[in-house]
Chain A
Amino acid sequence: MSDMFLRRRSIRRRAFDLLTAGVCRSGFLFSMGLIVFLIAQIIFRGGASISLEFLTSPMRDGGLSGGILYQICGTMILIATAGSVAAPLALGLALLETEYVKNMFARRTIQILIHSANAIPSILFGLFGFFALVKMAGLQKSWLAGGLVLGMMILPTTAVAVKEAIDAIPSAYREQAIALGLSKPKEIFAVVLPRSFFGLITGLLLGLSRAAGETAPVMFTACVFYGPTLPHGIRDEPILSLPYHVFNLAQDSLKPQAMQNAWGASLVLIMIVSCLSLTAWGLRRHQMTEAWR
C-alpha cells in the first residue's frame, strides 16, 4: 500500500515539475515574442525611412517631409545641459553624504530626499519647470529651462551611482591615505574622486539616456514643434527635440508620411539612448574588472 502511495505521489510531483517548467517557459516565450515583435517593428519601420538625407536635412512641411537635423541637435543640446547641471551637483551631494555628514539622522534625511526625488514622475518636473522657471523666473521657453529641468530629473540617479561607487572603495585605501597623513580634502582628491570617477560617468550616462528620451519634462519648458534652428542666446530660444517631434507626429496618425518620419525619428532616438546606456554598461564592466584586481 505504501508503495502505491509513494508511486502515485512521485507521479504527481513529476507532473507538477513538468507543468511548472512548461508554464514558466510559456510565460518567457510570450514576453520574448513581444520583445522580438517590438524590436523588429522599430527596426523595420524606422530603418525604412532613415537615410543620410533624413539625418542631415531640416524638417519641412510640418514634419511630412525633410529630415530631423535640428531635432537631433536640440536633443544633444538638452542632454549636454542636463549633464553639466547634474554632474557637479550629484558629485557634491554624494561627497557631502559619504564624507562630511557623520550624523546618522541627517544622512538618513538626505537619503530619503534622494529616494523620493527619484520617485517623482517626470511630468511634475515639467510642471514645476513651466510655472517656476519658464514663467516666474522669466526664462521663457528655452533650452536652458529644459536642460535645468532634465538635470534636476536625473540628479538622484547620478547621485546614487556616485554614492555606490564611493561606498565600494576598499577601506584599506582610505586607511592608507590617513596613515600617510593626508588631510580630508587630499584624501578626497587622491582616493575618493579617482576611485568613484567611473561611477559618476556611469550614473550620468544612465541618467542622460533617460533624459534624452523624455518628452514630458520638456514639452512645456523647452520644445516647440517647428521653427527654431540652433539657439543663439540662452533665453527665449525654444528648440526642437526628437521625442517632442515624435510626440507631435504621433498625434497625426492618419498621415502615412508623418508616421514614417515618426518611426525614423524614433529609431534615431533609440540609437542615441542605447549608445549612452551601452557606454555606461561597458564602463561598469570595466569598473568591475578593475575592482577585482
Chain B
Amino acid sequence: MTVPDPLRRETPLYGPFGLFHDPGWGTISFTQFGSIVAASLALGSFVSLIGFLTYLSWPALTQKGVTLITTGVWYYPREKFGALAMIYGTITSASVALILAAPVGILSAIWIAEYAPRWSRLPLKGAVEFLAGVPSIVFGLMGVITLRPVMQEFSGGGDSLMTAALLLAIMILPTLTTLVEDSLQAVPGDLRTQARALGLSREEAIRKVILPGARRGIVAATLLALTRAFGETIAVYLVVGRADNRLPESLLNLQPLIESGQTLTSKLGGSEVPMAYGDPLHMGALASLGLILIVITVFTTFLGQMMMGSPEKGS
C-alpha cells in the first residue's frame, strides 16, 4: 500500500497548449526527451557525415595508402589516384588569394574603424556585409564574364589557378574586412583616448595600442577567410580550368599558377562523382579527397578558434 504524500501537488499541465502532464522530479520530461532526440539527430548527422566518408574511403585508404597524398597522377581508368596536384592547387590558390586580400582588407578595416566619420560606419558596414553575403555562384559568373577575359589578356590563359586565386581574393575580401573591423571595434575606446592623451599620434596609437590589442582577432579573421577560400567550390570550378595532374617541378616554380589547374573542391564538384558510384575504389578515392579537405579546413578553423579563445597575455 502506498502512503499518499501530503506535499505532492496535483500534476500540473505544461508543454505546447498544455498538452502534457508534468512527470515530476526524477523522470525525463517530454521537453528533455524531445531535445535529446533532436540533438542526437543533429550531432548524429555530423558524426555520420565524417563516419560515412571514412567508410567510403576505406578501400582507397587501405589499397593506396599514403600514395593518395604523395603522388600527383590522377587517372581513374588506370586506377591511379594521387591527389598531390589538387592539394597543391587548393593550397596555392587559397594562399595567393589571402596574400592579395589580407593587406587590402586589413587596411580598409583600419580606415573604417579608426578614420571614417562616425555616421558613415553603419552604411559602410552594411555594404561590406551585403557583399559578404552574395552567393558564390554570382562571383563565379563575374569571374567567367569579367575576370577571365582580363586574365586572357595578361597571361594568355583565361582559366588558371591565378584566375581562381584573384576571384577568391575578391570573395574573401568583404568577409575579412568586416571581421577585422569587428575585432578593431572590440578594443576598448578608453585605450584610444588614453593613447592620444599621452601624446601619441594617430598612427602611433593604431600601431602601438590598437593593433596589438586586436591582434588575435585579426589572425582569427584571416584564418576564417582562409577556410572559406579552401572550401569554395562553385566559383573556383568555373574559372580554374579543371586540368588534372599539373604539378610544378619545384616548389618555387610558379608556372602552374598561370595554367589550368585543379583543386580538391573543383574535383569533387565535377562529373566524376556521379560516374564513380558503384566502383568502390574510385568512390573511395573521391571520398578521401573529401577527408583531406575536411582535415585542412577543420584544422585551420581550430587554429582560428584557439586564437580567438585563449586569453590575451599581459605584456
Contact = CB atoms under 8 A, between A and B. Distances in A.
B137 A120 contact: no
B39, B115, B227, B268: most-surrounded residue (chain A CB, <10 A) = B39
Contacts of B135: 212-215, 243, 266, 269-270, 273
Interface string A97-116: 10110000000001001111
B138 A270 contact: yes
A31 B22 contact: no
A89 B46 CA distance: 12
Contact of B294 (A14, A17, A120, A132): A120
A213 B136 contact: yes
B115 A270 contact: no
A187 B37 CA distance: 20
B121 to A, nearest CB: 12
Contacts of B136: 213-215
A28 B201 contact: no
Contacts of A95: 31, 35, 39
B15 interface: yes
B266 to A, nearest CB: 9
Nearest to A136: B52
A188 B33 CA distance: 13
A24 B137 contact: no
B303 to A, nearest CB: 11
Contacts of B111: 24-25, 27-28
B65 interface: no
Given A113-B46, A123-B268, A89 B22 contact: no
B201 A17 contact: yes
A246 B115 contact: no
B201 A38 contact: no
Interface stretch (B67-75, B186-194, B254-262, B269-277): B269-277
Given A25-B115, A215-B234, A124 B290 contact: yes
Interface in B39-95: 39, 41-43, 45-49, 52-53, 56
B32 A17 contact: no
A185 B31 contact: yes
Nearest to B276: A131
Contacts of B204: 13, 16-17
Contacts of B106: 27
Interface string A125-157: 111101110010000000000000000100100
A90 B46 CA distance: 13
A251 B271 CA distance: 14
A131 B140 contact: no
Interface string B122-153: 00100110110111111011101110100000
B283 interface: yes
B297 A121 contact: yes
B49, B108, B130, B141: most-surrounded residue (chain A CB, <10 A) = B141
B240 to A, nearest CB: 13
A78 B116 CA distance: 41
B217 interface: no
A216 B268 CA distance: 9
A222 interface: no
A132 B142 contact: no
B220 interface: no
Given A24-B108, A96-B35, A124-B294, A183 B29 contact: yes
A88 B136 CA distance: 28
B160 interface: no
Contacts of B99: none
B105 interface: yes
Interface in A68-90: 88-90
Contact of A117 (B24, B46, B206): B46
A12 to B, nearest CB: 10
A130 B273 contact: yes
24 contacts: A21-B202, A24-B111, A32-B108, A35-B127, A35-B128, A38-B134, A93-B43, A95-B39, A96-B38, A115-B302, A116-B46, A119-B300, A120-B231, A121-B297, A123-B269, A124-B268, A124-B294, A126-B269, A183-B22, A185-B30, A213-B136, A269-B138, A270-B135, A274-B133
Interface of A: 13-14, 16-17, 19-21, 23-28, 30-32, 34-35, 38-39, 41-42, 88-93, 95-97, 99-100, 110, 113-128, 130-132, 135, 152, 155, 159, 183-186, 188-189, 209-210, 212-216, 219-220, 243, 246-247, 250-251, 253, 259, 262-263, 266, 269-270, 273-274, 277
* Cβ-closest 10 pairs across A and B: A92-B38, A213-B135, A121-B231, A27-B107, A28-B111, A119-B301, A28-B108, A20-B203, A185-B31, A96-B39
